[in-house]
Amino acid sequence: MESVRFSRPDVHAMFEVRAADLNAVRPWAFHQGCYNALLALQMLAGLTAVHLGAAAAGQALVLAASASMLAAGVALIAFDPRRARIKGLIGQGAPALATLIALMA
């Protein structure tokens, strides 16, 4: 969303960015979208590796991606003094936490 659809009013409003600030904010939004896409690709690569029989390598990729996603979710809420992004933390952090718990089990 940040990389491709950020200019749409519903998308940039979700990030509390005013239309007047789009040009200033677009570079960091694009960067954030690339970061998120790379984490998703890392997760898919790990799951593919596990499926193809390279369990250790696949689990390492999934672990790294999940830990990064969870840390980013915690940072999202830690640096939001209004705690207005709880839904974002849950949406980003809960699947990552569940994956980490499953890997440890």
35, amino acid identity:
Y
Q: Domain for residue 1, yes or no?
A: no
Q: pLDDT tens track of the chain, all 105 residues?
A: 888 888 999 988 888 899 999 999 999 999 988 998 999 999 999 999 999 999 999 999 999 999 999 998 888 888 877 777 787 778 878 889 998 999 888
Residue 77: the pLDDT is 81
Q: How far is 24 from 45, CA to CA, in rounded Å?
A: 33
- The boundaries of the domain holding residue 50 are 9-104
Q: Domain for residue 36, yes or no?
A: yes
Q: Domain for residue 65, yes or no?
A: yes
Q: Domain for residue 89, yes or no?
A: yes
**Rama region for 53: left / alpha / beta (φ>0; ψ in -120 to 50; rest):** left
Q: Domain for residue 3, yes or no?
A: no
Instruction: Quote the number of domains for the chain.
Output: 1
Those residues with Cβ within 8 angstroms of residue 90's Cβ, 6 or more apart along the chain or in another chain: 73
Q: Domain for residue 63, yes or no?
A: yes
Q: Domain for residue 2, yes or no?
A: no
Q: How far is 43 from 48, CA to CA, in rounded Å?
A: 9
Q: Domain for residue 38, yes or no?
A: yes
